A and B are shown apart, each in its own frame.
Chain A
């Protein structure tokens, strides 16, 4: 932790320079480069259709990645997001099939998400349980409740206007209308994390919970809000999923949590907490989404997709580790040389 800070202090970057060379920014450059490369190399990739299909595929992961970024920055984790989405979908299906007004159904689904998140939040902050263990439990519990609620059935006859709206695109650009909502979400989370004291407090919590408490940050309350937000956004993702496929099933969004975490980690968020950015996480999601989409367009088997995701994930965490190790080796060697040959050494420590 202190090595990171000293590196940045020693490098003396600030403001725009630090933003432009940060891990998140590098991810964005790579995303753009990959996009352009694929447009040239893969036939049919550069078309409004891509924007539409790709973004529709990526929207649920993108949405959930936003609160997940904040959660991981505070050194917690939430594995139950996909199950919350699935539970929302099941509730939506059952209530709609029961004849309730669709807008009331949507409202209830959002409340379900809030409650799910609050449950996680209470277990983690008030009772004080480790988030990994709790969310493994709620992963099973919420998915189980989804099964209890809807069983083996699938509800498919959602109102036409809503399902068409969920997949409709903005004019000729091919970008889904729903992206507007997603962009608003991205803006909200980015502003909260990077431009508010609350957000800075989250970074502090990730670095050191005790230090944050000493400084006066209410760690428990902040984390509680985060988990509630995660639950809410997960239910929104569940609603989108249901409307997009026009199908409410108990296994909707199954396995999504691992994809979200992989993407977020790829985007530069550190699993130890205290580091990361919303733009970086968004870039991570897009990177995996774009590569997957291009490979699928070429009818390359899902097999390769899976291996690529795994390798990217490992490379993204092992890479910095290796860089750190190399830096440390050079530093140690230099210190050793300076100590054994005091006459030759330069006095500046930051050379």
Chain B
């Protein structure tokens, strides 16, 4: 019984001695890992050791999964020894920062990032750069001053114009439309929306189309669904919805296809063929656009390699080879375009599998 009473004392004493012993052991071991850890990310890293990490906007996103698949293939083809994917489970600006920091500490050579907020990730990215890492932004740009290069899937303006064109065709050139976007700060979304608004205002072909609302579904399926619902309630005369995000268009399609608005309210935007196939076949959606997301990841990986090798620095006019995709030239502001967008409708949707 005395043991019970002394148990706490013994436990505490053991814990203390263990801690002290380990501490002493730790102190005598030279902190050798430290300098090499912080210096490992120098660009003179031997080719055999190179690592690349992809940080998408969020992890549970089918579109992102396709991009990352292409990125993995590209990283392998470009000769990276290790390729990783890390990221938050929800598209949040501040959570990406912890992942960037971990990569800086681990000494990754190339960080490929799609930013949830162009500015919030900047300080962390700059610290990574001081540690020697190369930063490639893809899908959603960061502030240009904290990345070396931005790989964009398509020319932003083209994407915006295509969607406006499609919706105009489907609503007969006049009526009210709304935009259901992702998160309010996503760079790519805001760029596209800006072009769309400008096009609607300036192009005389669209003078009878009125943009009445912009709502944000945060790339969350349930929230996008509810926002779509809200749109129809607030604007009963709505004739078309543009959703330039794969999560948003899928959620809206689901809502429309089970409601009385099916076929009466046009829906277009950027969607994944596999997700949208059912809705194209049942008539909820007539046509939508996208590109091949895998190409985006693929080119980004090769861009990272070129930056590491020193074959380019990311300024306008630089060229690099993107494996099977051929030679690419860097455009203004450090932007590389992957290719033109594709339109999907019931005639060609079965040809694609992503």
Contact = CB atoms under 8 A, between A and B. Distances in A.
Q: Do chains A and B touch in the complex (CB under 8 A)?
A: yes
Interface of A: 10-11, 13, 17, 20-21, 25-26, 29-30, 32-33, 36-37, 39-40, 43-50, 53, 56-57, 152-154, 156-157, 163-164, 167, 241, 244-247, 249, 251-252, 293, 296-297, 299, 302, 327, 330, 334, 351
A223 to B, nearest CB: 32
A37 B221 CA distance: 42
Nearest to A40: B26
A163 B99 contact: no
Nearest to A25: B12
Given A20-B16, A26-B12, A297-B105, 15 more contacts: A29-B18, A33-B15, A40-B26, A44-B105, A44-B106, A47-B31, A47-B33, A48-B38, A53-B102, A154-B184, A156-B120, A241-B94, A249-B117, A296-B86, A299-B106
A21 B19 contact: no
B16 A327 contact: no
A246 B120 contact: yes
A247 B8 CA distance: 47
B98 A299 contact: no
15 contacts: A20-B12, A29-B12, A33-B22, A44-B37, A47-B31, A47-B105, A53-B101, A56-B101, A152-B184, A167-B123, A241-B94, A245-B94, A247-B93, A247-B120, A299-B102
Interface string B95-108: 00111011011110
B174 interface: no
Nearest to A249: B93
Q: Chain B interface residue count: which class? A: 35 or more
A21 B185 contact: no
B48 interface: no
Given A20-B16, A245-B97, A44 B123 contact: no
A30 B14 CA distance: 11
Contacts of B23: 32, 36
A49 B105 contact: yes
A299 B92 contact: no
A46 B34 contact: yes
Contacts of A29: 12, 15-16, 18-19
Contacts of B2: 351
A279 to B, nearest CB: 14
A296 B101 CA distance: 10
Contacts of A43: 33, 37
Nearest to A43: B33
Interface in B155-193: 184-185
B12 A299 contact: no
Contacts of A47: 31, 33-34, 37-38, 105
